[in-house]
């Protein structure tokens, strides 16, 4: 059974819309764990548009499973990770104007810089994942910079219009997962996944963990967070 990391950024987005205290991302993380989440994922963006530094500090203490901190690959962000020591850091590309993370990290084009940052995190005992598009060049680069894991960007698969396009994006994910597995990288996947499109991915046995946020939080509005997480976990069996 694949693991499920629940991204609670969207809870913080709702809180920030009014600048108050609710809903609380920490309370959401506790409920997600009660529903069977294997990990909690947060993205501390440089513009702090949803998750705040305080959330990170509290979640580091409260999360019982595993805290995956997504962040831009910069020295400033790495310093924050070295102070708080999440279980895993996932480097993601960040553009200020984007609504959500668009496209994967260009590891191949930034090998030296990314490797230096990974070395710093490894020295603190923090494992590192790289959020990349399902492309062989990026997978090989992830191996060369000594990442522990990759997270395959499933956005193109999730946004595919029509079966032909979805088939082609699915095939890219299959090939990428196999290649990464052969290079002994732990393979995670995420972005844009929901209760429908995640089913097909379950046939890719190399993927060990899915990181899912928006669809779970959206479903939670109707059925509650614990149940929304449990329903997604059931699909990953």
The contact set with ligand PXP (CB under 6 A) reads 7, 9, 43, 70, 90, 92, 100-101, 131, 151, 190-193, 211-215
Three-state DSSP at 68 gives strand
Q: Which residue is nearest to ligand PXP (CB)?
A: 213
Three-state DSSP at 48 gives coil
Q: Per the residue annotation, which of 10, 153, 191, 219 is the catalytic one?
A: 191
CB of 176 to ligand PXP, least distance (A): 15
In the residue annotation, 226 being an active-site residue is answered as no
Judged by CB, which is closer to ligand PXP: 183, or 195? 195
**HSE value, Cβ hemisphere, 13 Å, CA-based, for 71:** 28
CB of 236 to ligand PXP, least distance (A): 14
In the residue annotation, 191 being an active-site residue is answered as yes
Q: What is the DSSP letter of 88?
A: E
CB of 235 to ligand PXP, least distance (A): 14
Q: Per the residue annotation, which of 10, 33, 43, 206 is the catalytic one?
A: 43
Residue carrying the six token digits 């990428």? 176
CB of 174 to ligand PXP, least distance (A): 19
Q: What is the DSSP letter of 5?
A: E
Taking each helix axis from N to C end, the angle separating 9-18 and 214-223, rounded to the nearest 10 degrees, works out to: 70
> 56: part of which helix (H) or strand (E)?
helix 53-62
CA dist., res. 54 & res. 86, Å (int): 14
Judged by CB, which is closer to ligand PXP: 7, or 84? 7
Q: Which two tokens stand for residue 67?
A: 């805290």
Judged by CB, which is closer to ligand PXP: 91, or 123? 91
**HSE value, Cβ hemisphere, 13 Å, CA-based, for 119:** 8
CB of 99 to ligand PXP, least distance (A): 10
Q: Per the residue annotation, which of 33, 70, 169, 206 is the catalytic one?
A: 70
Burial class (CB in 10 A: 0-12, 13-18, 19+), 176: buried
In the residue annotation, 214 being an active-site residue is answered as no
Vertex 210 angle, CA 205 and 215, to 5°:
130
CA dist., res. 186 & res. 76, Å (int): 26
Judged by CB, which is closer to ligand PXP: 42, or 179? 42
Judged by CB, which is closer to ligand PXP: 123, or 156? 156
List the catalytic residues.
43, 70, 191
């Amino acid at each position: 059974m694949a693991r499920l990391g629940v991204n609670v950024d969207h809870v913080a987005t709702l809180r920030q819309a009014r600048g108050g205290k609710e809903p609380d991302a920490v309370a959401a993380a506790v409920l997600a764990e009660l529903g069977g989440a294997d990990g909690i994922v947060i993205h501390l963006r440089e513009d702090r548009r949803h998750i705040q530094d305080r959330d990170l500090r509290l979640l580091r203490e409260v999360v019982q499973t595993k805290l995956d901190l997504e962040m831009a690959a910069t020295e400033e962000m790495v310093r924050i990770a070295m102070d708080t020591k999440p279980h895993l850091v996932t480097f993601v590309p960040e553009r200020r104007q984007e609504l959500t993370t668009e496209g994967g990290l260009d590891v191949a084009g930034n090998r030296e810089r990314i490797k230096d940052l990974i070395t710093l995190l490894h020295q603190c005992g923090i494992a590192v994942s790289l959020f990349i598009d399902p492309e062989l060049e990026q997978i090989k680069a992830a191996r060369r910079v000594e990442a522990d894991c990759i997270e395959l960007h499933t956005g193109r698969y999730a946004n595919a219009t029509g079966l032909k396009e979805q088939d082609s994006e699915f095939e890219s994910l299959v090939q990428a997962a196999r290649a990464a597995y052969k290079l002994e990288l732990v393979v995670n996947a995420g972005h844009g996944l929901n209760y429908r499109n995640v089913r097909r991915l379950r046939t890719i046995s190399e993927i060990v963990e899915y990181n899912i946020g928006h669809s779970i939080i959206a479903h939670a509005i109707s059925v509650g967070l614990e149940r929304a997480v449990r329903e997604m976990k059931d699909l990953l069996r």
